[in-house]
Chains A and B, each alone.
Chain A
Amino acid sequence: MSVLIIAEHNNSELNSSTLNTITAGTELGDVDVLVAGENCADVANAVAAINGVNKVLHADASHYGHHLAEELTPLILGLAENYEHILAPATNFGKNLAPRVAALLDVAQISDITEIVSSNTFIRPIYAGNALATVQALHAKKVITIRTVSFEAASEGGSAGVESISAGEQVGLSSFEGQELTVSERPDLATAKTVVSGGRGLGSKENFAIIEALADKLGAAVGASRAAVDAGYITNDKQVGQTGVVVAPDLYIAVGISGAAQHIAGMKDSKVIVAINKDPEAAIFNFADYGLVADLFDTVPEMTNSTKIS
């Protein structure tokens, strides 16, 4: 049977989360990808060139331009008949959309899976990753969101066909007003090889600059704890954790972060974890491969200025 993947993109570029979702999809069957948006032909062509993609369905309309769940859902429902699995990334895009689709198909949705056991059985973390549940879907149709860090990114090299499909009527329940996106030269938090995260220990927005300086030295993305975001040191999209972004870089450096379960949930699958904290009892040290019990205001600049890091 076939798999339909809902691509995440911004009409000009494909979001890398789609690549991980395609890999998960190829474990389940033949993968078709829906690219719905406004003037998004470039994205549809880019998806066609990804390994493992069988066919791209391209739907273009101005009311798909902001990927509103109310608008995309009827389009997906119209395609659902041909597919056993409908997959989206477990990003805010996919989390917003997939349950709406599932409810109208009258089927369960399985969230944030980290492993595919069989075509109807999946593993997903619960309780902030403190337990792993193996769940078996009982409905014929399965709507699933994929934890992106648990699946490799599909590579380029495919040559699928692109089929234009007609757009549905505008639903008009919601409308887009504007957005405030974080613009940064740094790597994307969700996919960076190195992440430097700061917590409440930084003390202020001004002080948070020392996290950014170390990140720049290492070519890393910047992350944060909830406490740092709540205090306004950094924007909401940088929150790593159970209810924020889940990351799994090669190197995760936690600075001035205590190691609450909700934070650990978002970074414990990192390959190497470093913790810098002045409290030797901080829980973060239980998860760190390398711990440094020290004042961050001395040690972080020392690292940034080290000539041993190029």
Chain B
Amino acid sequence: MKIIVPIKRVVDPYVSIRVKSDETGVDTGGVKMSMNPFDEIAVEEAVQLLEAGTATEVIAVTIADSSSDETLRSALAIGADRAIRINCETPLQPLSIAKVLKNIVEAEGAGLVIMGKQAIDNDNNQTGQMLSALLGWSQGTFISEQTIDGDTVKVTREIDNGLETLTLKLPAVLTTDLRLNEPRYIKLPNMMKAKKKPLDTKNFADYGIADDAITAGFTVQKVQEPPTRKAGIIVDSVAELIEKLRDEANVI
């Protein structure tokens, strides 16, 4: 079974971002970039299935400009077999990403897609569900565990009040939650090996996608700073804290 792992390059989760003063977006110039952490978990899970002999090939895919090649290399260093970048100079919205991914999944004849539940830049949490819908496949979102058994996969999902277990018919799209695994630390020799693995650059046309088939569903009119909280105070003791909460804030 071939597994496709869609990944996205995002601003590193541990750097603080700045909103551009002209309110057109977030300033990503000169900012440290990383693989979306949920996608790293997805690559790790797919590679574990490869190592277990359940998967035959793991293909990392991104739809992005050439700056994402280094992100694909990281996926190869974790252990993906090859990578595909669909060249795209402007970031696309989830529905468009899902449409492009659908064609790649079909062209590759993949039997499973594992991807992040959410890209931590736009926080959409949509693409996996959309891809599953377009393919007419089952979906296992926000998973913390999966077990493949013949033509089904059993998943444990993180839901609002606990955990839920489902059995999905394969092929399926799975989206990762934080507790699925802990991505391995990339060792230098694996970085070197990754440089020799295939990374193909393709265009929409290579997958039979007309440029005008990719349209926007919404426009971002402006991006603003959120309101800031007014500075608080440091109290000296539990007694003072309780007094403030009772008599000043009236919350206890």
- Is the Cβ of A177 less than 8 Å from the Cβ of B133? no
Number of A-B contacts (CB under 8 A): 256
A292 and B235 form a contact (CB under 8 A): yes
| Residue on A nearest B10 in the bound complex, by CB | A127
The size of the chain B interface, using a CB distance under 8 A, is 80
Within 8 A of B (CB), among A169-208: 172-182, 190, 194
Question: A209 interface residue, CB < 8 Å from B?
Answer: no
Residue contact A177 to B167, C-beta cutoff 8 Å: yes
Q: Is the CB of A174 within 8 A of B139?
A: yes
B213 to chain A, nearest CB (A): 11
A-side residues, CB < 8 A to B, are 68-70, 73, 91-93, 95-104, 106-112, 121, 125-139, 172-182, 190, 194, 218, 226, 229-230, 235-237, 242-243, 245, 250-251, 261-262, 268, 271-274, 285, 287-294, 299, 302-303, 306, 308-309
Evaluate contact between A92 and B251: CB separation under 8 angstroms. no
Instruction: Return the 9 tightest CB-CB contacts between A and B, nearest first.
Output: A108-B217, A99-B129, A103-B130, A99-B126, A173-B138, A103-B133, A289-B232, A177-B165, A251-B251
Cα distance, A242 to B13, chains bound together (Å): 11
Q: Is B234 among interface residues, defined by CB-CB distance under 8 A? A: yes
Q: Are A92 and B244 in contact (CB under 8 A)?
A: no
The answer to whether B249 touches A133 (Cβ under 8 A) is no
Question: Which of B160, B163, B164 has the largest count of A CB atoms less than 10 A from its CB?
Answer: B160
Which residues of chain B are near A98, meaning CB under 8 Å?
Answer: 126, 129
Q: How far in angstroms is the closest Cβ of chain A from B134? A: 5
B107 surroundings in chain A (CB, below 8 A): none
**Counting CB contacts under 8 A, is B202 at the interface?**
no
A135-B218, A303-B241, A309-B242 known; A130 vs B17 contact (CB < 8 Å): yes
* Cα–Cα, bound, A70→B216 (Å): 25
Query: Contact at B222–A134, with CB atoms within 8 Å?
Result: yes
**In the complex, what's the smallest C-beta–C-beta distance from B249 to chain A, in angstroms?**
5
Cβ of A100 and Cβ of B224 under 8 Å apart? Answer: no
Contact of A132 among B11, B128, B216, B226 (CB under 8 A): B226
B163, A179: Cβ atoms closer than 8 Å: yes
For residue B210, CB closer than 8 A to chain A, the reply is no
Contact A290 B235 (CB under 8 A): yes
Asked if B238 and A292 sit within 8 Å, CB to CB, the answer is: yes
Q: A102-B130, A133-B222 are in contact. Are A237 and B158 (CB under 8 A)?
A: yes
How many angstroms between the C-alpha atoms of A99 and B97 in the bound complex?
Answer: 13
- Chain A contact residues: helix, strand, loop or mixed: mixed
Contact of B239 (CB < 8 Å), options: A110, A135, A271, A308: A308
Q: Is the CB of B217 within 8 A of A92?
A: no
Say if the beta carbon of B223 comes within 8 Å of chain A.
Answer: yes
- The docked-state distance in angstroms from the alpha carbon of A118 to that of B245 is 38
Q: How far is the CB of B123 from chain A (nearest CB, A)?
A: 6
Contact of A103 among B129, B169, B177, B178 (CB under 8 A): B129
Given A174-B140, A290-B241, 19 additional A-B pairs, CB 8 A: A69-B139, A92-B158, A99-B129, A102-B126, A112-B123, A125-B123, A130-B19, A131-B26, A131-B225, A132-B224, A132-B225, A134-B222, A181-B162, A236-B158, A236-B179, A242-B123, A262-B13, A274-B245, A292-B241
Residue of A nearest to B225 (CB): A131
Please, how many angstroms separate the alpha-carbon atoms of A45 and B103 in the complex? Answer: 44
- Chain B 142-180 interface mask (CB, 8 Å, partner A; 1/0): 101000000000100111111111111100000001110
Find out whether the CB atom of A109 lies under 8 angstroms from the CB atom of B133.
no
Question: Residue B141 at the A interface, CB < 8 A?
Answer: yes
With A129-B226, A131-B223, A303-B238 in contact, do A93 and B160 touch (Cβ < 8 Å)? Answer: yes
Residue with the highest number of chain A CB atoms closer than 10 Å, among B220, B241, B244: B241
When chains A and B are docked, how far (Å) is the Cα of A230 from the Cα of B144?
11
Give the interface segment out of B47-55, B64-72, B83-91, B114-122.
B114-122
User: CA–CA, A264 to B105, complex, Å?
Assistant: 37
